[in-house]
Amino acid sequence: MPFAEIARFLVRGLKARFRDQKCEFDVIRRHVGPGDLVCDVGANKGSFVWWLSRWCRDGRVIAFEPQPAFAARLAAVCRSLKLENVTVEAKAVHSRSGAQDLFVPAGHSPGASLTQKAVEATSFTTLSVPVVALDDYFAESDKVALLKIDVEGAELGVLQGAERILRQHAPLLVFECENRHLAPGHVGDVFAWLETLGYRGSFICRDQLLPLSEFDADVHQRQHGEWFWKSRGYCNNFVFAVA
């Protein structure tokens, strides 16, 4: 693995930890520890993986990334850095195991989704990828402490495929969720389903963790302007835990 590739991986992780997603990382750091089993669904280029590997030493980090090139690159970096507690699975995660089409936007592969309507690019490629439900992947004795989820509109499917895990082990959930990826559905559908399992939510706004009761999709996910999801007040990151 070229040094430049490893350097990019580490710099990406540092930017995520101390700048772009500092609040999410702070929440995770308080929750996980040595020996824990954690799961990164939609690992992409691995911004969370290095930190999870460090914090969960002597435990396990399972990173799911359905894009074959990204998964292979992440696995190679982990081998080079000797992150021996990390397993990279070149699979998507959803409600049922099998195979599904993955829609990959041309020139913007981080926006890949199992849901075509969530892909906003006019040009995209379609890949058939293996898909696994987390309840099938993990044994009942596997106590999952954290699910970090970034799946561009497939959040509810991922969570429904992990219902046994959620009921049995109540892992912390840190995930992205946006109305623009769910229409005609709504982020409230995801929140309501989690609440039936005893979860209570918060959302991240301007680097602060706020109670979900203060979240208003019409305000915090206002779809105005060409790049509305990059505006300072746009909020798409959520933290749910069992009360």
* pLDDT number for residue 81: 97
Average confidence (pLDDT) per 10 residues, the chain, 243 residues: 93 97 98 98 97 98 96 97 98 97 80 79 86 98 98 96 98 96 91 98 97 97 88 95 92
Distance between CA 66 and CA 169 in Å, rounded?
Answer: 25
* pLDDT number for residue 109: 58
Distance between CA 188 and CA 207 in Å, rounded?
Answer: 22
* pLDDT number for residue 121: 62
* pLDDT number for residue 226: 81
What is the domain-level CATH number for residue 11?
Answer: 3.40.50.150
What is this structure's pTM?
Answer: 0.95
> Is there a contact between 143 and 169 (Cβ–Cβ < 8 Å)?
yes
Four-CA torsion 75, 137, 103, 13, nearest 10 degrees: -40
How many distinct structural domains can be found in the chain? 1
By residue range, what is the domain housing residue 218?
3-242
> Is there a contact between 71 and 180 (Cβ–Cβ < 8 Å)?
no
Distance between CA 139 and CA 182 in Å, rounded?
Answer: 30
Distance between CA 220 and CA 242 in Å, rounded?
Answer: 24
User: Which helix (H) or strand (E) covers residue 233, if one does?
Assistant: none
Residue 156: strand, helix, or coil: helix
Distance between CA 111 and CA 227 in Å, rounded?
Answer: 14
Distance between CA 21 and CA 1 in Å, rounded?
Answer: 27
